[in-house]
Amino acid sequence: MNGASVLSLRNVTKQFGDAVAVDDVSLDLHAGEFVALLGASGCGKSTTLRLLAGLEQVGSGQVFLRGADVTGDTASARNVALMFQSYALYPHVTVYQNIAMPLRLRRLSVVNRLPGIRLLRAPVRNTIADIDVKVRRVADMLRIGPLLARKPGQLSGGQQQRVALARALVRDPSAFLLDEPLSNLDTQLRADTRDEIRALHKRTGCPFLLVTHDQSDALSMADRIAVMIAGRIVQVGSPETIFNRPRLRAVAEFIGHNRMNILPRGMAAALHPAGAMHDLGVRPEDLSIDRSGPLEVQVESFAYHGEETILRLRAADATPLRAVLRGDAAVPPQGGTVRLSAPLSALHAFDTAGLRVTL
Amino acid sequence: MKPSTVISLGLICLGAVIVMLPFVWMISVSLKTHSEIFTPDVTLLPRHPTLQNYWTTLTQTDIPVYLMNGVIVTIGILVLQLLVSVPCAYALAHRRFPGRALLFGAVVAALLVPFHVTAIPIFLGFSRMGLLNTYTGLVLPFIATAFGLFLLRQAFAQIPAELIDAARVDGMSEMGIAWRVAFPLGLPTVIAFAIFSVTAHWNDLFWPLIATTDPGLATPPRGILYFRDQESGDDIGPLMAGATLVTAPLVIAFLLAQRRFTEGLAGAGLKK
Amino acid sequence: MIGLRRLVTDLALAGPAALAMMLFIFLPVVVVVVLSFTDYQFGARSFDWVALDNYADLLGSRHGRNALINTLIYAAIVIPASVGLGLLVALGLHAIARTMPRVSAVLRAVYFLPVAATLVAMAVAWQMLLHPSLGLINQWLSALGLPGRQWLSDRGIVLYTLAAIGVWQSVGYNMVLFLAGLAAIPRSLYDAAAVDGAETGWDRFWIVTWPMLGPTTLFVMIVTCANAFRVFETVATMTGGGPAFASDTIVYALYREGFVYFKAGYASAITVVFFGALVILTAIQIVVVERRVHYR
């Protein structure tokens, strides 16, 4: 997986007026890799994607594609594929023509694309036949062969997405960028689509860069995750690293199905001596009710979610906490107090600057 | 700037000059002295601009009468149109009654009928009723506006039904709701329509030409024609001053409220 | 009885408008059709039924067809020219709208002026400009070494002169409509085309802009066509249909036959033909283009 870097940003900065959208960002996408660029809305990840694709020009810094400096190249000059969040399918042409479009634009000159030229020139006919083969192949790979004659308006959301995928993949791009591909989908379709995208990645071997605000997408799909906050990349690592050893408090609060509890220093000393000087983070899943546990909290309310029950608690200094119980566990009475404990390995300490401190 | 941008901008500016030409000429002549107009050495702009023509036009011609008639007629038409169309549009949007679909269908069908098609029978009828050569005759035929009904109905339909129901529960009469709830909420569309109506009827030549022979009733376009046909070829300066005065109100209104204007004339039509 | 009260309220609300439409739109249409089969003259005591004689005169004789043919020629020039130019200007202004917003706004206002202006007054100004010897146009042409023309009194040119003024009057309107259509095109489509390899403006226009402008273009065409057919003010002001009926158009013929010669029956036939042509043209445009244009 540590193959050559296929697509990279080097110290790229991009400003819009006074606002800095992307701040000195460096990122590498290696051959065969699946990288997720994870961050909240407005953190600059979509801008980063557009810079990689060539839809925006960098303010400063460089963009490399397969070792070549493509910083000044427009999108059409780079061989990078992009799948848009809204799919951006051409509504007036068929699925076939949508998929064929990138091939037609790059392999046929303006003159050769005029209607009827095909009848006159043999080389054009050959190219068109070649394009036809490629389009049908990628359509079969994505199981949309029967839809080729339809128009996008006649397709379901999932089908449209596959057409968008096909259009991006048909020209064997050097890298494939995906902009929030799962946010439009309902929960059931999401899980299926995640698997499909992973399978697609394996099948094509093409490096994927996925931009998302959903941490579970990133954790489940990526080989590496780059976490972006306020225009800067704050941590890059494998999903396990990001999950178990978040470098920043902000990253720790962002990752995880349930938001991590942060006990402010002082109060945190109840859980661990280091808590006198540092904030301590512990995930709701890692807190267990323990009659001899070190942390005493008050039970405010609970919410039953079927597989799990989420307890809303309050520490002595009024810090709100959450703990997760398995669905069949007994729920302590509301208004009462319980004692909690957490294993050492589940504690994350952060200093005043928000940086991780090893316990 | 890219060279292609420079070229296209240049061509557009050239076109803009052509578009402005008659305006510039009209104003320019209106500011020229008599001798400057009738010299064989014609220039675009006046060398010694003067307001004399405007003075002549305003004091010695009937242009002020024509302008006044324009105001009376356009406002009269607009008021009548709104009086009749607002309640009907409200009913079409928020009330169920037998024949509602038919009525709306009739409105859409009526959109296709240009005024010229109805001119002869209306003329006939008015002639029998002695309404020719009257303000009523100038105003009445336009009271039925399918365009206005359509636009207002679409605008009123946007008002949530709950708001209307709340007003009903409060005890407002239906006519009251139409005027005190729907009309204010639909005001942007009303304004757009008003601009459309005023522009169309201020500038209309056809019906005033047919329906009046009394110069005292002439609307601005009709008046300009009277003026031009009467003048012995000498009063070109005042004629152009009159033309400017006639054109000015709408143009100035447009320049002051461009967004409203283009919405009224073009945007409203887009919703068709 | 609530039912009756409701009905009365509905009548009060919708009645006046319905009555007005009846009296001033639908009834006259019927009357005009009926009149077209008569030889009624305004002011006459009685009239006769002449069945299709009026139509025979109108469509059968060259003189009768003249106005119709002139109007078709006029429309055939004005429609493509003003739609095309409107689109071109809109494209140009849309492209600079972000980088030069004030210039763009000023130019938009300039092009839209003829739409708000009183056409009769502007026609009077045009008439002066087009004067063979005293008009600025011919003066400038001769300064450039080109021959001046009898713009309004040459039978071969007059219709084209009027068409040019018709284009002048409607380009701004079409431009505004196209600008609205252009603003509605989602930017992501242009991005997708760029990523796909569309580099030039030509590519972007044919792949994204033109297809997405479909509904707008249809509407612009229908409106321009309807307005072109109704040309009247310029004819009445500048040429009176002449010289020798060279610039006679349908509505002007309607006016002349009906309100100058008072031949109400014949003029009604003209009206019916005019209305029919308008409806057919609109229907053709809708049917032929609509299907291909609404794919959303």
- In order, the DSSP letters of B123-174 are HHHHHHHT-TTSHHHHHGGGG--HHHHHHHHHHHHTS-HHHHHHHHHTT--H
Q: What is the pLDDT of residues A263-312, one digit of tens each?
A: 888 888 888 888 888 999 999 999 888 888 888 899 999 898 888 899 99
With CA atoms as reference, report the closest residue to B62 among B266, B239, B192: B239
Quick one: CATH architecture of B57-270? Answer: Orthogonal Bundle (1.10)
H or E element, residue C90 = helix C62-96
- C203 vs A contacts (CB less than 8 Å): 105, 110
d(CA A163, CA C43): 72
At residue B39 the predicted structure's pLDDT band, cuts being 50, 70 and 90, is: confident
Distance separating the N- and C-terminal Cα atoms of chain C: 48
- C228 vs B contacts (CB less than 8 Å): none
* Omega prior to C243 cis, within 30 of 0: yes
Contact C282 B5 (CB under 8 A): no
What is A260-357's CATH number, 2.40.50.140, 2.60.40.10, 3.40.50.300, 3.30.565.10? 2.40.50.140
**Mean pLDDT to the nearest integer, B94-108:** 91
Phi, psi of A233 (to 5 degrees): -90, 120
At residue B270 the predicted structure's pLDDT band, cuts being 50, 70 and 90, is: low
Mutation site, C195, C199, C213, C216, interface A, largest A CB count within 10 A: C195
d(CA A258, CA A281): 12
ipTM of the complex: 0.88
SS3 call for A91: coil
Of the partner residues B210, B240, B242, the one whose CB lies closest to the CB of residue C259: B210
- CATH number for the domain formed by residue range(s) A5-249: 3.40.50.300
The reported pLDDT for the residue numbered B268 is 56
Q: What is the pLDDT of residues C229-265, one digit of tens each?
A: 999 999 999 998 888 888 999 999 999 999 999 988 9
Token pair in block for residue A230:
């306020």
**Mean pLDDT to the nearest integer, B194-198:** 92
Looking at residue B124, its amino acid is: L
Strand partners, A288: A341
Q: Which fold has domain C30-293?
A: MetI-like fold (1.10.3720)
Query: Quick count: other Cβ atoms within 10 Å of Cβ C182?
Result: 19
Strand locations in A248-342 (E): 261-263, 279-282, 288-289, 295-304, 308-315, 320-326, 337-341
Q: What is the pLDDT of residues A17-35, one digit of tens each?
A: 888 999 999 999 999 999 9
The reported pLDDT for the residue numbered C41 is 85
Count the alpha carbons within 13 Å of A206 in the hemisphere toward its beta carbon: 22
User: For chain B, what are the domain ranges?
Assistant: 1-50, 57-270
H or E element, residue A29 = strand A19-30
The reported pLDDT for the residue numbered A357 is 87
SS3 call for B179: helix
Kindly list the strands in the beta sheet with A208-212, ordered across the sheet, starting from the edge strand earlier in the chain: A80-83, A175-179, A208-212, A34-38, A224-229, A232-237
User: For chain C, what are the domain ranges?
Assistant: 30-293
pTM value is 0.84
Contact A153 C191 (CB under 8 A): no
Contacts with C, B 203-262, CB within 8 Å: 203, 205-206, 209-210, 220-222, 224-225, 228, 236, 239-240, 242-244, 246-247, 250-251, 253-255, 258, 261-262
User: For chain A, what are the domain ranges?
Assistant: 5-249, 260-357
Q: What is the pLDDT of residues C122-136, one digit of tens each?
A: 999 999 899 888 888
| Range in A336-345, A346-355, C282-291 the model is least confident about | C282-291
Residue of B nearest to C44 (CA): B124
With CA atoms as reference, report the closest residue to C189 among C205, C178, C175, C176: C205
With CA atoms as reference, report the closest residue to B189 among B215, B223, B151, B237: B151
